[in-house]
Structure 1
């Protein structure tokens, strides 16, 4: 689902919530006055707080998607601010219900109880269906404000169940109305506290959860150019995530390194939902041993500087182990290939002949690159030739040191 489609879906659900809460508020308030039920009036207050909250949700979802030069990272946190405001509405609703239930001196007599029960059953079924559907949408869209809205609609359903039980008790002659109202207040307060904590954490730039960070690390390490991850920092704003990553990469040309970083960024955005931006800082690293570049033709055979179409780079450790990195496609041009080889921090270039141009040989010499001529045509044979020579050199060096 694209960013635009996500935005339209969020607005649709926020608008639906607004319509639902408006309808329930009016319905409950009218019948609360008609029946005189404190629990039903508490539910009307609850629904009114949800109505205001839904209005804030709809406005915040629209504002959060806008970007400007003054807010280059977007206004995504408007969603989290809105969810905190919503939590205060829930606290207020709980307070009003408790106050009315236990500190009011006015005696309430519930009339037409059967009508109150019918209204609450309708509200209960409606809120149950809508809250579950909106919660599913909130998870798919990764929207904290929709999740917050679904939470209080769910709290509305639970409180409706309690109110229905209280009204049935009242209908049977037991005075349960105010106790049902008090239980509703507890549901509302609990929901508000969870929403408040979640919104506050994001405003304080809480990190991504450990499971998601591990998934990000796994994706990064799948790229063979990555030697190590120095650190990953991630934060959430609204529905979106921002990543700050520092990597140690094998040495390549500047162009190739940019390609590798772009590839990592693209894969992260594809596999991790709702990433707004990825900032990757990278540093070159050299392991003990040396780096060899092999010039290959279109048939993957060792060739010279004039006919090479691919450069394959291999890192060889002190104990002779090999890591072959991704290849570079090049044009068969001696000067251009020499320029590339002098900039990618290699020790040896393996070719069938030395470069003919003096300037190319001189630039490679200045860069500390040794040209290794070989009569081997097969890549593996040429690689083994280098490794065997290197290991023989190390054995002789060890004997001399002894």
Structure 2
């Protein structure tokens, strides 16, 4: 919460700084456009005015975006994206005004005091270059689409300032490049507006998270031994924040333990993926009836321990007593490897001659909901009979409770 409040404060400071910068540049450009009569400089002034309005919208949206209420329990994060779309419309309008003035105006413009206009544009170019680079870094760090949009506008202002300087320099040396410089500025403005508009609309239409980010989240989830499978995972973006909707298949646990596992997965996702606002996880037990039993054996089907077994035989025992013995799985006689396999193949009980010695293996099996049944029976058939008899006795005794 402290980190989110700090990010919010930084966003507001950058938005306010952009507002002050655009205010100064707008006034300067309008004043010197009137003094010099430069169409390109007037186009720049219109561009800066649109940026000024955009900065006001950015500041307001950043302040409102983090507020939550009973009416808007998920926050007003999308105000940032709405603001970026509105900003893009201002840029389209600015581009239109520039082109109309450049090619459809019947008035002949006489440019005076060209050196003053060039000086103003050099100052504007330096200021916009520095601020846009700094704001862009801050926008990426804070993951703010409104600040990102604002930084792009200011960068477009820098590029258009460079074009205006070239046009004014040409005019100074006797070439009528003013209106052409203004037209190039309009193209920059339009392109910037389109990029911002398309990005903002995607979020407003609940575009999914990037594929790479979803794959990263899947790896985090699958790293937990209690997870059998991911039935579905969806993610969307609102403003700077991301929302996840996940449905998991988990090994059979008590309700309390399952809740702890889900909390652990959620915490890990929020730690490793930035700007996650909420993670909704729906979970289901992978199997609600019957048993799956694993027997650790040697090549002659004699019961072995975790260190000397070379095969795992799985048996599915249904609640009505049907038995299915599956094909054996060859393994290396290694505690950790066998423990890893057993924690991932949806086992309820593993039958062995002795419990695993290493705590890491015991802990992983416990987290995966696997019970270790230490038996004195020597062969697979004897051990299977022991488990079946115990299970039938248990189900008969607790039939009304299951």
Q: Deviations over 1:263-301 (max 9, x none)?
A: 000011111110110000111114996258xxxxxxxxx
Rate the CA distance shift 1:15–1:144 in 2: closer, same or farther, 3 A: same
- Superposition map of 1:246-265 within 5 A: 246-265=247-266
Q: Deviations over 1:236-282 (max 9, x none)?
A: 00000000001111111111111110000001111111011000011
CA distance in 1, matches of 2:123, 2:150: 20
Rate the CA distance shift 1:120–1:286 in 2: closer, same or farther, 3 A: same
Q: Who is 2:131 aligned against? A: 130
Q: Who is 1:226 aligned against? A: 227
The alpha-carbon deviation at position 315 of structure 1 amounts to 11
Gaps of 5+ in 1: 293-313, 327-344, 351-373, 396-402
Q: Who is 1:40 aligned against? A: 41
Q: Who is 1:24 aligned against? A: 25
The alpha-carbon deviation at position 349 of structure 1 amounts to 9.7
CA distance in 2, matches of 1:87, 1:320: 63
- Superposition map of 1:362-381 within 5 A: 378-379=355-356
Gaps of 5+ in 2: 295-311, 316-325, 330-337, 359-371, 386-402
Q: Who is 1:237 aligned against? A: 238
Per the alignment, in what secondary structure is the counterpart of residue 74 of structure 2?
coil
Q: Who is 2:292 aligned against? A: 290
Q: Who is 1:69 aligned against? A: 70
Contact (CA 8 Å) 1:10, 1:61: kept in 2 or not?
yes
Rate the CA distance shift 1:316–1:11 in 2: closer, same or farther, 3 A: farther
Q: Who is 1:54 aligned against? A: 55
Rate the CA distance shift 1:218–1:349 in 2: closer, same or farther, 3 A: closer
- Superposition map of 1:134-145 within 5 A: 134-145=135-146
TM-score scaled by length of structure 2 = 0.77
CA distance in 1, matches of 2:250, 2:348: 17
Rate the CA distance shift 1:205–1:387 in 2: closer, same or farther, 3 A: farther
- Superposition map of 1:350-369 within 5 A: none
CA distance in 2, matches of 1:13, 1:97: 28
Contact (CA 8 Å) 1:290, 1:315: kept in 2 or not?
no
Per the alignment, in what secondary structure is the counterpart of residue 47 of structure 2?
helix
Rate the CA distance shift 1:5–1:320 in 2: closer, same or farther, 3 A: farther
Q: Who is 1:108 aligned against? A: 109
Contact (CA 8 Å) 1:320, 1:391: kept in 2 or not?
no
Q: Deviations over 1:107-158 (max 9, x none)?
A: 1011110110011011111101111111111111111000000011000000
CA RMSD of aligned residues (A): 3.0
Rate the CA distance shift 1:229–1:111 in 2: closer, same or farther, 3 A: same
Q: Who is 2:168 aligned against? A: 167
TM-score scaled by length of structure 1 = 0.77
Q: Who is 1:337 aligned against? A: none
